[in-house]
Structure 1
């Protein structure tokens, strides 16, 4: 039987080697510089299965804080999940995942974000969530955006070394965001986590208004001579809607692109209005989410509601009912929700909500809560 435990610092190189053998080819950089927190000996959060002392299965685990207004959601991200081909079919991934749930609960987390959606995760209530609009800006849409926002006085340029403090300020002003220091932001741009998986690279554009950065955009663009696995798309952005829209419009000519896709969470009303002429499709947020403890999640959200819905959230009560189900009471309403319905209620989306339209309407002042797009700079 395998030993399921945290990977020790002196074993982390073995974890990198296993991950590279599964997820990388000869054209790609190692997983370690792209996802340093997954293999961090300082954090020491990742788990493995060991047969006779040899690492045969690995799961990378990274703690982050997600800010929603003044609320701070303790969150973990799971990625770089892989098993040596010779050790597959033995249930090691499920055993590691069980240990991880115990770990993140003890750590005080309310959420687990997973970049995948296979049955390994869905059968333990890691489920689709949220609503994102994916806009496609081509030449016609770019021209429409430039005409629409011509009076904004925006100048677009490349990133300069003096921009990081401004970028951190812009990123921190978003309603829903991953928490970043200045160095966090710079390192995440440099690490190129997601784009390293799809043979692309980052380019950063700055929108200036009156000589000061008003927005930034991190784009995933081709990385010749590698053949990209996706069309160019927005990785991360911050700033006011017109400035972000103009960055997308100018990106086509400046970065020599035929089109760029912009995934935008639906709470970004300013961005949605600025992008109004651009066609889009709605889809869930990237990956899946597990609510570790619903009671803890609600308590961690209350500082957001104290400003967004004062005098309303105090009446909300939730209680775990076993197997991921949640009992909810609010202002004369009561229901017992299955895991998918609770996740859709909290984060948005229609899955599992067909029988709960009255509940959703009664809780519209509280739910869905804003939430950042999860396939950005913090992708794991």
Structure 2
């Protein structure tokens, strides 16, 4: 078997393999839904070949995350598939190790994975972050207290894209992407097509200006068992709520769900009383190089608490593959060994369970942590 990066021509075969694995005749091709993987623009995606035949594939996409002033390199992994007759040979595991090597070479410390298969958990991927999914129904929003300004809720036109992009770029925690990328991803409709829904870009307008936007996955012409949901949102929290309420009425929806990460405190407050389900961010995350990640997060951590940052340092464990000892946290003259579970929870969970740390140490670490990460199942989903 040979594992190698793939060019645009080779990715055509990868798209065909992915279509056989994940799509049916009523869905668009994976090549259309996930252009960041299959366009060949990056050359990061990996194929496993046997006798010149592609038998296994792993999509790998380089991205940047903005976390306040920090620009964090990220790799996103998805569309992992193996030809049915070649399953059970360990090809996906080989591809994952090659992906880790590519991350090391590229200086990337964080990997988003679109799944939680045992393959990923066995190789250090973990659930991360807290996300609450609210499900709004017409009767719920009618009973919400307080008056709402007279927002105009409408489907967006091409003339709104610049305003939508400006709102998106004003987000403190987000994927970094250009207006061109936003346009491409809106056209691709990746998440909506997975569930056989149609996608619509909706805006909330106040006094002639766009105050919020929502990318909605709505019932379309295809039969779907999946309920409508918000793919991505941005803008003023009150305007977002108005958009949700208006969309229920405008599209005659029985319900509309929205996933809100823990850091969006104002929106959580407005949605108080709405039916919700608490969970984790979509998929899993893998921290590849803790020391490098800490350095890349430094601009955000310094802005949050310079004194606390000067007294804390994250160092790599001697072995990158040691699950029981993933990193050492140096804090005020003390050294704490962290397991893979503890490291991920400490960095990204609002209420981490860290048996290795005392209550006093957790309070001190709380001056810097957790680090907010964007919800992964948005337009940038891989």
TM-score by length of 2: 0.95
Q: Which residue matches 1:340?
A: 341
CA distance, structure 1, for counterparts of residue 119 and residue 315 of structure 2: 26
Task: For 1:70-219, list aligned pairs within 5 A.
Answer: 70-145=69-144, 147-150=145-148, 152-219=149-216
CA distance, structure 2, for counterparts of residue 288 and residue 91 of structure 1: 20
CA distance, structure 1, for counterparts of residue 380 and residue 18 of structure 2: 18
Q: Which residue matches 2:266?
A: 270
Q: Which residue matches 1:34?
A: 33
Which moves more between the two structures, 54-63 or 365-374? 365-374
Secondary structure of 2:143's aligned partner: helix
Secondary structure of 1:304's aligned partner: helix
Deviation at 1:230, TM superposition (A): 1.8
CA pair 210-159 structure 1, distance change in 2 beyond 3 A: same
Secondary structure of 2:200's aligned partner: strand
Give a deviation string over 1:153-190, Cα, whole Å, max 9, x none.
Answer: 32211102211111111111111101121111121111
Secondary structure of 2:379's aligned partner: coil
CA pair 312-362 structure 1, distance change in 2 beyond 3 A: closer
Secondary structure of 1:29's aligned partner: coil
Deviation at 1:16, TM superposition (A): 0.9
Match of 2:362 among 360, 363, 367: 360
Secondary structure of 1:37's aligned partner: helix
Deviation at 1:361, TM superposition (A): 2.0
CA distance, structure 1, for counterparts of residue 11 and residue 376 of structure 2: 26
CA distance, structure 2, for counterparts of residue 360 and residue 223 of structure 1: 48
Match of 1:369 among 355, 368, 371: 371
Q: Which residue matches 1:329?
A: 330
Give the gaps of 5 or more residues in structure 1.
none
1:296 partnered with 2:298 = no
Q: Which residue matches 2:220?
A: 223
Task: For 1:221-260, list aligned pairs within 5 A.
Answer: 221-224=218-221, 226-260=222-256
Give a deviation string over 1:135-169, Cα, whole Å, max 9, x none.
Answer: 11111222134x5242x232211102211111111
Give a deviation string over 1:90-132, Cα, whole Å, max 9, x none.
Answer: 1111011101100011111121100100101000101100000
Deviation at 1:351, TM superposition (A): 6.6
Which moves more between the two structures, 303-312 or 76-85? 303-312
Conservation of the 8 A alpha-carbon contact between 2:308 and 2:364: no
Give the gaps of 5 or more residues in structure 2.
none
Conservation of the 8 A alpha-carbon contact between 2:290 and 2:316: yes
CA pair 110-211 structure 1, distance change in 2 beyond 3 A: same
1:3 partnered with 2:5 = no
Which moves more between the two structures, 296-305 or 273-282? 273-282
- For this pair of structures, how many residues does the alignment match? 376
Which moves more between the two structures, 184-193 or 328-337? 328-337
Conservation of the 8 A alpha-carbon contact between 1:128 and 1:289: yes
Secondary structure of 1:286's aligned partner: coil
Deviation at 1:334, TM superposition (A): 3.2
CA distance, structure 2, for counterparts of residue 131 and residue 357 of structure 1: 22
CA pair 180-91 structure 1, distance change in 2 beyond 3 A: same
